[in-house]
Chain A
Amino acid sequence: MSVAGLSPNFKVAFDANSQVFSLAGVIRPRSVDEIADSIAMLRQAIDDVRGVLYVDVKRLIQMNNTAFHAFVRVALDACRARADLRMVIVTSSVVGWTTRMFGHLNQIEPQITVEVYDSTFYPGQSFVEDTSFIPILRTQTKMTWRHERSILPRHGLRPGIAMADVCCGIGDFAVLVQKEFQPARIVALDHSKASLAYAREVATNFGITDIEYTYGDASEMLLEDNQFDFVSCRHSLQIFNERELLLKELYRICKPGGRVYITNEKNSHCLGEPRAQSIQWTYNEVAKLFSHFDMDVELGPKSRRYLADAGFDDILVESFMVTNLDGDPQDFADVITAWENVYAGEMAVRRGDTPEFIERFRQGFRDHIFAALHPKGYAGWPIWVASGRKPT
């Protein structure tokens, strides 16, 4: 792969193996001469490829007309000269103007097509974006917040800071943080428009107007470098298949000296008494089921390694157990019921599991609920919290 950087905010690269030419960042040259190297790289890429050249502009944050005309002219000339060449320009649904600008090219040259990268960004997205899941997400946050509100200050959350909550879901964590810690700024980002619409409605109902909810791809955020003192990303690394990419983005937007805070589970460690064996069997199977869909719900204790590999220092790790004794045991039971419905009712079915397996799988959830509601029972859901400091 060859890479050229014109300015700190602009990157151009060509990956010959996958035939992807990518433009990223901000490119606003005064004249074409300033981007001559990048134009030459595109020409070389066109010469090198056979069949389809992918032009990836998903991370292109700004491009002025000078640059647009220059790159497009090369692409159009190449298509006119080579009947065998096809170009696929991949834009992002997040950056609205790219799809509009590049979208015209197919009308000029049919060999160029434009694809909007708007499919699922992570494997489990379709499972958790169902709006029927929203009440359970709220209950989950209520249950974890009892613990996290005292944990967060140890990881750097304090009044007056700038904070981003990446993969904010329905935005309830951001609301709780805003009320409890009064950061100067909160940006809450998610790729579910339905979840964000819900988040905005909840914030409005609570009279909260200073949370900036934004639609975006966590692995390719529009947010600028080194902006936030505190970046949270809760329960998301574990359901993201490109974890290093996500961590790289969290690192990028965090200020030097700021901290990135992640929470994740180790589902096989969910527990309960009585009926411990059945519960344990089911949650071991939960871990395997998620693994089948390229998600790692065993990630919690691996957080330290992930943060270290991403370049963070001063890494702090701790864990807490959400239990049926924290508040209303029915809340705990409701969450497990929702898990049963999604994991056994949808994911196992999609994996093609037999009715016999699914029935045994369901039984463990029911036993977990039994333990939670039993007058002498105990049911737990462990969470790992980790944060790392971006070196100064």
Chain B
Amino acid sequence: MDVGNSVPAEAAFEPLLQFEMEMGTFLSEWQHCDHVSTYLARMISHNRTDPVRHSNFFSSALNELLEVSFRGGTSSGQIGLSIYRHGPIERVQITFPCPAEQVPFYREAVQKIDRSDAHARYLDSISTDMAPSRESVLLDLAINFDASIRIEESTSPAVTLIVDLPLEGLVS
């Protein structure tokens, strides 16, 4: 089942990088989010027009996805991360195990990104939430990074978020 917002027709995304880690190991250290996002961003940005700024922008978005996984994930199984490229867009596919009862909340958060009041809800979130919800993080990606986000669900208690980031155009 796919739920998502404004994803373009499937294009020929080329694989750039795959990363897997035992979820228990990932959850053992909060700094993994920062380290992994910084390292992977640097690797995939090296041949962008402005590698340093692309890496900074990409790391910012990827870190938020990793933090969502960290906060919502369970320790069994693996976190899997694949990065693809098509022209100016990088696609991040992140899969992490989570409690089955949490899956509808991710689905709902992704669905809300498409609504016409997304911007207003994002401003409301900034204005009133002391800590960001998973919905406001996804709204942040959609609004500040021009991301297209969709969700894939499987029979196992896991969530896969597919996030297209057109950062090359934003940076250049």
A interface with B by C-beta (< 8 Å): 26, 28, 30-32, 61-62, 64-66, 68-70, 72-73, 76, 94-97, 100-101, 104-105, 107-108, 187, 189, 196, 200, 209, 212-216, 222-223
Contact = CB atoms under 8 A, between A and B. Distances in A.
Contact of B56 (A95, A100, A101, A189): A95
B145 A97 contact: yes
Interface of B: 30, 33-34, 46-47, 49-53, 56-57, 59-60, 63-64, 67, 122-123, 125-127, 129-132, 136-137, 140, 143-145, 170-171
B126 A72 contact: yes
A65 B123 contact: no
Nearest to B128: A73
B132 A65 contact: yes
A200 B49 CA distance: 8
Contacts of B49: 200, 213
A68 B49 CA distance: 28
Contact of A101 (B47, B131, B140): B140
A187 B53 CA distance: 12
Shortest beta-carbon contacts, A-B, top 8: A65-B132, A214-B52, A100-B144, A30-B30, A212-B51, A28-B34, A69-B132, A214-B50
A94 B53 CA distance: 7
Contact of B123 (A30, A61, A107, A200): A107
Contacts of B57: 96-97
Contacts of A196: 50
Contacts of A28: 33-34, 63, 67
A31 B51 CA distance: 30
Contacts of B125: 69
Most buried by B among A61, A62, A97, A187: A97
A251 B47 CA distance: 26
Most buried by B among A107, A189, A223: A107
9 contacts: A28-B67, A65-B136, A69-B125, A69-B129, A69-B130, A70-B130, A104-B126, A107-B123, A187-B51
Contacts of B126: 68-69, 72, 76, 104-105, 108
Contacts of A215: 50, 53
